[in-house]
Structure 1
């Protein structure tokens, strides 16, 4: 609650310190939005410390972790073909005659509405497929845009973040 930082690392560090001083009781609140999930994180961190202490090793390579957005080992990238077409940002906006959609999150679901119909679901794929199946998208570029925005909405939903259409999910995307 008193740190403006992601809670996974803070809870893991709290567990490390607690083990070092022999504490057997840990407390973490979940009062604010940024602390949501802290009880689970602290439980996992405590399990990690029990395993690490039993094995007499650092709290890594235990079969459980608190890595959420980062990964322990990257999968090697593929080597591209020799001939590439460089992607272009040049695209003239043209409104979709089938209409546009407002995308938002509500009650744990992704919602896409255009005034005539509202589609809701828990995955970007299901929402987009429903829009396509009902003939509600008339342009390929609009389908691509909706796919990107619905996927961003799903990421926000899964991570417990806020989502605003056409706005960056992360502060590092700004500017």
Structure 2
């Protein structure tokens, strides 16, 4: 890729996926689950969707390409740039589907994930915001996708 995909700053009234979820594992371990293809293969993708490969340069300004097999869409790539990484605390990145006509054309969206210790459970609270969608159907689909992925992530620590 020659150009960095930068997600536009969304307006306050745009539809967004917002999820707060407690994962019963230490914050550093939960944060690390986002940092490599090997870790993402364990949990990323809802239901029968799964990571097939890719590359991650896990640093602010680094790029990623995540190959996935997605139910009803086949093989796709998810590409983007890490806009902000604060170890153990925050990840923000752009998000764009490529390599499949069923998902292309949805535009570049933006994801931010914040990680907090949860004193009550001893686990980690993840607060996710995924914004910049062009259509309500896409927002709903990504909401389902993130929730299903977080179900798998939670099971990684049992």
Q: With structure 2 as the length reference, what TM-score do the two structures score?
A: 0.24
Q: With structure 1 as the length reference, what TM-score do the two structures score?
A: 0.22
Determine which structure has the larger strand proportion and give its number.
Answer: 2
